[in-house]
Amino acid sequence: MARKAQPDGVIGTLQRLFGHDDDRSLLAKLAGTSPLKRYVLESGSNVFKRSIQCDNLIKNMLALDTVFNSKEFVCKLANGEVKPAEISEKIQAAKARLEKKMQAYAYWVDRIDSLEKVLTNATGFEEFALEDRLSIDVQGRSLDTGSPYALRAVRLLEQVEERGRNSLLNADQLNEKAWALYRLGVHEQAVGLAQQAVEIEPTHAEAWLLQALHSLTQKRSAQGDMALYEFEKEQAEPLSGHEYWADEMRDAAEDRMAAALERHRHVVFQALKNWPVTQDGGTKRYRDQYEEVRASCIDWLFALTAPNTRCLSTVPDWMCGRLRF
């Protein structure tokens, strides 16, 4: 005979507060944390002392976990241990992640009626690209054009986050989450997760790959900005506000370039050493990117052995004198 659920236990409390017990695993873990300990009947028990204060705490902690996807941070908030600067940082990160999710779902919400018409009249999927035939509904609310493929990244992200609510993520799961965020354009958070993955598993190929590709992208972006603002300076009147602005912007781009090169040097050798291979182990995957990263490593080694050279393809001449290996 099945044991009857305690009315103020985890399942009973969730059903009373929300009408379902979907978060039972998470609440069972939260019951043992310091914010909720004072509201359980006895140490190690998952039976709560029912009160308005206890109910509010449970509802707030579960709601905040949905936003921040971090049991540890939610507990710190409930204990009053978080400074305003950290709250602001976490809020901005959550906002960026949630906005990307909203845009991905909004793409299909705004085109769902159009999708019905296209599918009803379609004779074969080989004859057209679906995104070319979809139109935005009159009441569409999308903030931008979005992508029909972003939803897949969002769903992958949500699956990983759901696993993370109930247990610590391993290196593979952190890597999955990192790539999902990266495809959604939340790059810095993605890189941070990839760094966590290699801290757990130092030879994680896909996590090193993400960091290497991001460093290459950052380097190209900074190089482009430096060239742009150098051109702006050349076009400006001498001693004008335009020239002063172009100088400042080029200096800022130069700083970004230095930071990008530092990150680039830190990750490309590990990325090359641990490059992803096919299942049989015989062939390098992502061949074009492999050749680019390999060339970068050769350039860095050349800069190390001949620091005064002026023929590097990936390290600008002006940086040679500033680098310290």
Residue recorded with tokens 């909004």:
106
For 127, the 3-state DSSP assignment is coil
At position 207, the amino acid (one-letter code) is A
d(CA 240, CA 245): 9
d(CA 193, CA 315): 27
CB 80 within 8 A of CB 86: no
Residue 239 has pLDDT above 60, yes or no: yes
Which stretch of 137-151, 176-190, 216-230 has the lowest confidence by average pLDDT? Answer: 137-151
Residue 30 has pLDDT above 60, yes or no: yes
Residue 199 has pLDDT above 90, yes or no: yes
Residue 163 has a pLDDT of 56
Residue 153 has a pLDDT of 60
Nearest to 101 by CA among 152, 162, 34, 170: 152
CB 294 within 8 A of CB 300: no
Residue 76 DSSP label: H
Structure tokens at 60: 């707030």
d(CA 48, CA 16): 12
pLDDT level of residue 194 (50, 70, 90 thresholds): very high
Number of C-beta neighbours around residue 176 at 10 A: 20
Beta bridge partners of 284: 277
Residue recorded with tokens 């995957």:
285
Residue 148 has a pLDDT of 53
Residue 138 has pLDDT above 70, yes or no: no
Q: What is the pLDDT of residues 40-65, one digit of tens each?
A: 887 777 888 889 999 999 988 988 88
Q: Is 103 exposed, middle or buried (0-12, 13-18, 19+ CB in 10 A)?
A: buried
At position 27, the amino acid (one-letter code) is L
pLDDT level of residue 167 (50, 70, 90 thresholds): low
User: Looking at per-residue confidence, does 219 or 140 come out higher?
Assistant: 219
Residue 198 has a pLDDT of 92
Residue recorded with tokens 């130069």:
254
Residue 144 has pLDDT above 80, yes or no: no
